[in-house]
């Protein structure tokens, strides 16, 4: 199964437009220094957008009834698909995906384009049948918080139908910061709206080497399902788990954590404790423009 990760950042449509109007390289300088490793694959894929995605993926079991209330009713939940991968997943529950990450060293070499780093956070809903064929898995990611100064990422994502909240992130340039007790922390909060109406997400994790309910093979599956905000276009965003970004001394680390958020499509604040996932970085590739969902499903299922 091919893919797409969190992130639905096909701001690439904007990149292609910008690059076609320029005679010299376009670059957005980083506002601060990140600890993320550089993009190791740009020259291998000059006609694709590529970069490093560094962050945390947590799987939150929520009641199927709640998932059904949050996910648009026209998208069928493929419960058998995730139970095939996770036979022990709790009965009557659905694997909501929480993503907090930093996009680093984005390049599109064929157009001589680079883009400055930005952060994002989102709730994402995998294992959805949007074609009615009963087996092609897609991931709904319709709302996202993105660094408020990352105009290319915001504009491109909005062009794909996402609702974007321009946001501030702590830390500003990394996917998490270490705390004195050994845990890690990431907080995002929308600039617009602000105050009492602000959207926010706080993720705190600690190492969990002895309890790993979701193997990395499962994470690879959910992060590489094609993502969509609406079915007019799908994003074939592929995370590559076999590059130097994921090798020693930067191997993925299993974690347990807490999530506090009021992100869409939740109707109110929600706290989830004792949830599990991974802190990790991968390289990624993404087409310069989004694709037709049905055609992409045919490619994935072949």
Provide the pLDDT confidence category of residue 34 given band limits of 50, 70 and 90: confident
Residue 170 contacts residue 186 (beta carbons within 8 Å): yes
Provide the pLDDT confidence category of residue 48 given band limits of 50, 70 and 90: very high
**Number of neighbours of residue 33 by Cβ within 10 angstroms:** 9
User: Is the peptide bond prior to 265 cis by the omega test (within 30 degrees of 0)?
Assistant: yes
User: Is the peptide bond prior to 193 cis by the omega test (within 30 degrees of 0)?
Assistant: yes
Residue 178 contacts residue 158 (beta carbons within 8 Å): no
- In this structure, of 26-40, 215-229, 255-269, the range with the lowest mean pLDDT score is 26-40
**Number of neighbours of residue 269 by Cβ within 10 angstroms:** 10
Question: Which pLDDT value is given to residue 5?
Answer: 34
> What is this structure's pTM?
0.88
Residue 124 contacts residue 6 (beta carbons within 8 Å): yes
Question: Which pLDDT value is given to residue 186?
Answer: 97
Residue 289 contacts residue 13 (beta carbons within 8 Å): yes
Question: Which pLDDT value is given to residue 159?
Answer: 83
User: What stretch of H or E contains 14?
Assistant: helix 12-20
Kindly list the structural domains of the chain, giving each domain's residue range(s) and its CATH number in brackets, ordered by start.
12-301 (2.40.400)
Percentage, residues of the chain above pLDDT 90: 76
Average pLDDT over residues 156-165: 91
**Number of neighbours of residue 64 by Cβ within 10 angstroms:** 14
Q: CA-CA distance, 263 to 3, in Å (whole number)?
A: 24
Average pLDDT over residues 64-87: 97
Q: Which of 98, 97, 115, 118 is nearest to 106 (CA)?
A: 115
Q: Where are the alpha helices (DSSP H) in 120-184?
A: 151-159
Q: Using one digit for the tens of pLDDT, what is the confidence trace for 262-285? A: 999 999 999 999 999 999 999 999
Q: What is the largest CA-CA distance in the chain?
A: 57
Question: Which pLDDT value is given to residue 31?
Answer: 53
Question: Which pLDDT value is given to residue 298?
Answer: 57
């Amino acid at each position: 199964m091919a893919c797409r990760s969190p992130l639905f950042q096909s701001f690439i449509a904007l990149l292609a437009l910008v690059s076609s109007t320029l005679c010299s390289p376009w670059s957005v300088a980083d506002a601060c220094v990140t600890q993320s490793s550089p993009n190791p694959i740009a020259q291998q894929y000059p006609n694709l957008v590529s970069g490093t995605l560094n962050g945390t993926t947590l799987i939150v079991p929520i009641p199927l009834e709640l998932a059904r209330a949050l996910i648009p009713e026209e998208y069928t939940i493929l419960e058998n698909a995730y139970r095939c991968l996770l036979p022990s997943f709790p009965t009557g529950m659905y694997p909501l995906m929480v993503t907090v990450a930093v996009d680093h060293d984005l390049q599109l070499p064929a157009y001589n384009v680079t883009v400055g780093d930005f952060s994002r956070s989102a709730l994402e809903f995998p294992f959805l049948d949007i074609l009615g064929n009963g087996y092609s898995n897609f991931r709904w990611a319709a709302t996202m918080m993105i660094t408020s100064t990352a105009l290319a990422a915001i504009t491109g994502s909005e062009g794909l139908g996402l609702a974007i909240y321009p946001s501030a992130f702590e830390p500003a340039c990394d996917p998490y910061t270490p705390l004195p007790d050994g845990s890690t922390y990431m907080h995002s909060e929308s600039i617009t709206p602000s105050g009492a109406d602000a959207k926010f997400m706080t993720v705190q994790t600690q190492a969990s080497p002895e309890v790993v309910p979701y193997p990395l093979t499962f994470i690879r599956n959910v992060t590489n399902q094609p993502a969509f905000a609406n079915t007019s276009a799908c994003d074939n965003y592929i995370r590559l788990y076999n590059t130097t970004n994921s090798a020693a001394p930067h191997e993925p680390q299993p974690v347990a954590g807490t999530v506090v958020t009021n992100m869409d499509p939740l109707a109110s604040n929600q706290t989830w404790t004792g949830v599990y996932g991974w802190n990790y970085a991968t390289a990624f590739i993404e087409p310069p423009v989004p694709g037709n969902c049905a055609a992409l499903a045919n490619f994935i299922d072949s």
